[in-house]
Amino acid sequence: MSSGIITVVGSYVVDLMSRTPHMPKPGETVLGGPFRMGPGGKGGNQAVAAARQGSRVCMVTKVGNDPFGQAAVKHFQAEHISTDYVFVDDAEATGAALIAVDDNGENMIVVALGACGKLSAEDVAQAEQMIKRSTVVLVQLETSMEAVRKTLELAGTYGVPVILNPAPYQPIPEELLKGVTYITPNETEAFLLTGIEITDEESAYRAASVLYRRGVKHVVITLGKKGCYYYEGGPSGILYPGFHVDAVDTTGAGDAFNGGLAHALAEGRSIRQALRYANAVAALSVTKIGTAPAMPSREEVERFLQNQPIDTTATGA
């Protein structure tokens, strides 16, 4: 299969990560380590995940005029991601994420957006022709809402499908949801968007139905190691089970899923095939430490899927 162009409009931040035996309580200092520094940000991570599957990817983001920003450009180029629309802000520093990962592989993250939080509608408008040529556009909520709005506007003008990963959660204006083709909240984000706590397939169905009625054509609620729940209207949805792996770091798993989904859709796979592929990319990402550096290659994903039983366990609500 040949893949089209994926334009990712989103964040780039530097990940500053340390292991910790347990998450610190308020006022507590914990001795941890080792410390790792590397490329991150939801947009950047998702771009790498898609590029490593073989997709042609263009990144639209903003970095600071500093060593971290210069490293960002080199990082994207090394991953064969177009940097034509990586803008430089002379006033703001490149964003950073402070990440703690405990012995169970769970994480806590604080993000200082810096320059990518200043990505503007005018910046996105400069990428109009790239968005027009794209097969899929992928966007998150880790930049300004005006950048998200402009992305949806341009994609809608040219009939380009949009995947919105509503993370980190921000209130989304109702009119924007009508321009979203695929929305991919996790359980927490789905609850914040709908007020429905996800505890089982029935509650996932009810939450997905709310988002569908608000105008989203395809709802995908990610459920961690349990897989994902898919809904496109009607009396029920489908639960696509995840894959069992030994997780060492769950940071970036959602980004891996979204990048894998964008790639599979751009390649022309059916939604069933695309969600299975995305589940596999996410599963493999948690077997390594880090975010962007942990994204698997296409060869790793295909080899992994060849060793998995055919998906016959997807269930309706």
In the chain, where does DSSP find H-type helix? 42-51, 67-78, 121-126, 128-133, 145-157, 174-177, 187-194, 201-213, 253-266, 271-285, 298-306
Which one of the listed residues 89, 102, 255, 311 is annotated catalytic? 255
Q: How far apart are CA 277 and CA 264, in angstroms?
A: 7
Cβ contacts of 78 within 8 Å, gap of 6 or more: none
Binding residues are 13-15, 41-45, 142, 186, 222-227, 249, 251, 254-255, 279, 285, 288, 290
- Enumerate residue ranges in the chain where pLDDT < 70: 1-2, 310-317
Q: Which of 219, 212, 288 is nearest to 250 (CA)?
A: 288
Binding residues for substrate are 13-15, 41-45, 142, 255
pLDDT of amino acid 317: 47
User: Which domains does the chain carry?
Assistant: 5-12+41-91+119-316 (3.40.1190.20)
Binding residues for K(+) are 249, 251, 285, 288, 290
Reported as a single tens digit per residue, the pLDDT across 279-293 is 999 999 999 988 899
| 3-state SS assignment for residue 210 | helix
Asked if 255 is an active-site residue, the reply is: yes
pLDDT of amino acid 22: 94
Tell me the whole-structure pTM to 2 decimals: 0.92
pLDDT of amino acid 315: 62
Reported as a single tens digit per residue, the pLDDT across 42-95 is 999 999 999 999 999 999 999 999 999 999 999 999 999 999 999 999 999 999
